[in-house]
Structure 1
């Protein structure tokens, strides 16, 4: 077998492992990312994971990139239509975060940000890109208001806080999301007039 045919096989196997690991992390969280345990769950060895990805950091980054790609596909439906006010956006996103399909993604990204805040590599690098992507996306969804601009990071902070609290104490934020969205909608109404 020539080296030319080995490269596509290696890339194909790497992609298959990243897909399977992404599904595992979405189901069970980042705690499943221990190298040996992850390898065992994927039906391979830790040495083979390093062979395909080069390092544990590259493995983690590759899996999170795959999760990000899956999330981008899901968010396409929420990226169309006219921009909305910050209050309406917050209400929609907090409701979306309770959707069983979206909840695993929200939990993973919140865990990534928490690990980054603790200085854990490679999450610290990944989190910077995730926050930049999220704030850019939020900015595209908001009605421009030059007199009272809403920083996308303010909305992201609320969403991350609600998600983190819900992860720590399931059910505790059931009324928080609607209340926060309504409060922000009231502010939107005062600044619009």
Structure 2
């Protein structure tokens, strides 16, 4: 690996850490350059423009997420209900919190009409959909696609409910209600 490529990779790791810690609001060129220990001009040299830079950072973060999922045990296909339970258990670990918060930021920006984050969110969602299909033991490909969609809805719903403070509702859905349900 060339020195320039090594510097680019090292910068990318530091910027991914920065975005996970500070969020997308702190993802302008100067703060990213400071986090990477370089100049904003070097970032443009390495990545072309801000869109290229953000794409590279978000791809790196997505790769980390996948590696963490695999390390957490998401590597053997299961039937849908067992797969939902396993995936929610893995994502419930504290290490995933910044990743899930970032995903919610991307979803929020997409919902507000930001075309870049709409594209990024869709790309990430499609990758996750393919990952979800690979996690499932299903009777055929059509059933696998439908079950992957159900898995995604269930998991993303859990992430959203957790983000807005409705852990008691998540507990009810999981059958682990501890009598903490709040009346409507």
Matches of 2:115 and 2:18 in 1, distance apart?
20
Partner of 2:51: 57
Partner of 2:8: 14
Give the SS at the match of 1:102. helix
2:36 pairs, out of 42, 47, 50, with 42
For normalisation by structure 1, the TM-score amounts to: 0.76
Q: Does 2:74 correspond to 1:73?
A: no
Give the SS at the match of 1:175. helix
Q: How many residues align?
A: 172
Structure 1, unmatched stretches of 5+, are 1-6, 184-193
Q: 1:178 to 1:165 in 2, by over 3 A?
A: closer
Deviation at residue 27 of structure 1 after TM alignment: 2.1
**Is residue 162–residue 170 contact of structure 2 (8 Å, CA) maintained in 1?**
no
Q: Does 2:155 correspond to 1:162?
A: no
RMSD across aligned positions (CA): 2.5
Matches of 1:30 and 1:164 in 2, distance apart?
18
Higher relative contact order (CA 8 A, sep 6+): 1
Residue deviations 1:104-127, cap 9 Å, x none? 222222322332333324322222
Give the SS at the match of 2:2. helix
Matches of 1:59 and 1:82 in 2, distance apart?
34
Structure 2, unmatched stretches of 5+, are 177-184
Q: Does 2:149 correspond to 1:153?
A: yes
Partner of 1:177: 170
Matches of 1:21 and 1:108 in 2, distance apart?
14
Look at both structures and tell me which one has the larger radius of gyration over its CA atoms: 1
Matches of 2:149 and 2:17 in 1, distance apart?
28
Matches of 1:82 and 1:165 in 2, distance apart?
26
Q: 1:181 to 1:20 in 2, by over 3 A?
A: same
